[in-house]
Amino acid sequence: METAILPPLMQSVELFYPQLNTPSKVVVTMHQKPDGDAMGAALGLYHFLIAMGHEATVIDFEQQKERALGIINQAEMIFCLDFNILHRTKNMEQPLLAAQCTKILIDHHEQPQEDAFTYGISNTAKSSTCEMVYDFIVASGHADKLNTNIAECLYTGVMTDTGSFRFPATTASVHRMIADLKDIGLKHTRVHDNIYDNFLENRLRFIGYALVNRMEVLYEYNTALMYITRADLQRYNIKTGDTEGLVNYLLTIQGIKFGALVIDREGERKWSFRSKGSFDVNTFARKHFNGGGHVNAAGGSSYDSLDENVKRFKEIIKEYQNQLQ
C-alpha cells in the first residue's frame, strides 16, 4: 500500500526574507473584486518590490485574463494578499494552483489554506493586510525603502478596514504605523478625500433610497437587515464599489448588535455581515452563507433568490436571539 505524499505546509514568512535581495519576476495578487485593503496592500507591496529591484506586476485577472495567465506562468514568486483561500480569487484559483513558483501569503483572515502557499503569515489580530505589509517591509530589514507612494497605499487599506480607525482592531501598533508614515511624508487628508468624498450624486441618492425602502430593524434580535434588488442597482447606476460601507449604517442604530446586507448581484447574492461586541459573524457566515472573515466583519454568498435569502436569514436569526440579547 502506497503512502500518500501530502503537500508541505506553509513555512514562516521570516524564512522568505533573504529572497527579497534577489531580483525576480514577481506577481502580486488579491481576491476578486478587491476592496481598499486588498488594493492598498497590493499596490503598496508593488512599490516596495520595485524599490528592491524586482520586476513586479499587480494582476487584475478578471479584466485581462489572457495577459494575466501569461504573467503567472512566467512568475518566479507570487504574493497572495488579503485572502486566505485560493477560491476567493474565483477564476484565478486554478492558475494559482498550477503555478510552480514560490507563493507567499500575507493575510489576516481565519483558517488559511496552508498547503497552497510556500511561505506566509496569517494573523487575525491585525487590523488589515496593509498593516501586515508594513510589518513585512520593516521586519525584513528594509524600512528605508518606505516612501510616500507606499505610505499612501498602505494608509488606504488601514483606514478603510478599521472604519476610519474606530473598529476594535485599531490597536496601538496601527497608530504607531500611521505616525511613521506621517514622518515619511504621508498626506492623509488627500487619501481620505479621494476615498470618502469622491462619489457621484447617484450614490448618495441610492443610500437614501435604501435606508428608507430596503431596511428592516428586527429589534427582538437587536439586528438590522438591508436587501438591495438588481433593479435598485440599475435604477441608480450602482457599481460594486458604490455599496462599500453600506452595511455599516445598520450598526449606527442604537441597540443594534448585528447588521446584515444582501445584494442581488448578477449570478449570485452577496452578503455582508457586521457586528458589535462578541457576536461572531465569521462563524455565522461560515455556517449559513458559504462565507467567513473576522469576528465582527464577514461576508458570504448564495445562489438562491434574493427573496429566499431574506426569508432564510429571518428564520436563522431566531437561533441567535439569546446571543444577541
Q: What is the pLDDT of residues 167-206, one digit of tens each?
A: 889 999 999 999 999 999 999 999 999 999 999 999 999 9
Q: What is the pLDDT of residue 255?
A: 97
Statement: residue 210 has pLDDT above 80: yes
Statement: residue 6 has pLDDT above 50: no
The answer to whether 29 and 80 have CB atoms below 8 angstroms apart is: yes
Statement: residue 287 has pLDDT above 60: yes
Distance CA 218, CA 260 (A): 11
Q: What is the pLDDT of residue 8?
A: 66
Query: What domains does the chain contain, in order, with CATH numbers?
Result: 11-195 (3.90.1640.10), 201-324 (3.10.310.30)
Maximum C-alpha span of the chain? 67
DSSP state of 24: -
44-47-49-52 Cα dihedral, nearest 10 degrees: -130
If one counts every other C-beta atom within 10 angstroms of the C-beta of residue 318, the result is: 10
Q: What is the pLDDT of residue 21?
A: 97
If one counts every other C-beta atom within 10 angstroms of the C-beta of residue 155, the result is: 26
Cell of 232: 435598485
pLDDT single digits (tens) 150-173: 999 999 999 999 999 998 899 999
Strand partners, 105: 80, 120
pLDDT single digits (tens) 59-98: 988 888 899 999 999 999 999 999 999 989 989 999 999 9
Amino acid in the structure at residue 180: D
Q: What is the pLDDT of residue 271?
A: 97
- What region, left, alpha or beta, does residue 216 occupy, with left being phi > 0 and alpha being psi -120 to 50 degrees? beta
Residue with cell 517591509: 137
Q: What is the pLDDT of residue 141?
A: 98
The answer to whether 130 and 157 have CB atoms below 8 angstroms apart is: yes
Statement: residue 2 has pLDDT above 60: no
pLDDT category at 4 given cuts 50, 70, 90 is: very low
Statement: residue 29 has pLDDT above 50: yes
Distance CA 176, CA 172 (A): 6
Statement: residue 281 has pLDDT above 80: yes
Average pLDDT of every residue of the chain: 94
Statement: residue 240 has pLDDT above 90: no
- What is the arithmetic mean of pLDDT over 37-57? 98
Statement: residue 3 has pLDDT above 70: no
Residue with cell 492558475: 95
Angle at 35 between CA 29 and CA 40, to 5 degrees: 65
Q: What does pTM read for this prediction?
A: 0.89
Q: What is the pLDDT of residue 227?
A: 98
Query: Comparing 135 with 62, which gets the higher pLDDT?
Result: 135
Q: What is the pLDDT of residue 60?
A: 85
Statement: residue 1 has pLDDT above 50: no
Statement: residue 246 has pLDDT above 90: yes
